[in-house]
């Protein structure tokens, strides 16, 4: 898992089972840099407050704890997932 910049967007790339997925690299809660997080099953876990995002869709699968939601007055929202195509050993991301 690592991050790249494409067309002014910070994008996370992750390979699972031979397939490459791309989604926003910055957490929608408080800007955690997701490539520094962990992966569990098909979810990327934010390194800051542990919200989880499904890598194929960018949807939140586990939000921040209720106390954190109260303290920050904000919760994580769905991220954008991008189409990925591999052509001649190059990764193309549709932004
Ligand atoms: S910054 Fe990602 S869960 Fe808070």
Which pLDDT score is estimated for 59? 98
CA of 67 to the centre of ligand 1 (A): 13
Specify the pLDDT at position 56.
94
**C-alpha 74 – ligand 1 centre gap (Å):** 10
- Structural domains in the chain, sorted by start: 2-94 (2.102.10.10)
Alpha helices in the chain, H assignment, sequence order = 66-72
- What is the residue whose two structure tokens read 């997932």? 81
Question: 33 CB less than 6 Å from ligand 1?
Answer: no
| Region of residue 61 (left: phi > 0; alpha: psi -120 to 50; beta: else) | alpha
The model's pLDDT over 39-84, given as tens digits with 9 standing for 90+, comes to 998 999 999 999 999 999 999 999 999 999 999 999 999 999 999 9
pTM higher than 0.85: yes
Distance CA 35, CA 63 (A): 18
């Amino acid at each position: 898992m690592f991050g790249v910049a494409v067309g002014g967007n910070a994008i996370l790339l992750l390979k699972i089972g031979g397939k490459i997925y791309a989604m926003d690299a910055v957490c929608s809660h408080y800007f955690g840099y997701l490539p520094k997080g962990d992966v569990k099953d098909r979810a990327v876990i934010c390194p800051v407050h542990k919200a989880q995002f499904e890598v194929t869709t960018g949807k939140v699968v586990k939000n921040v704890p209720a106390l954190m939601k109260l303290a920050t007055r904000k919760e994580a929202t769905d991220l954008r997932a991008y189409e990925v195509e591999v052509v001649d050993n190059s990764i193309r991301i549709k932004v």
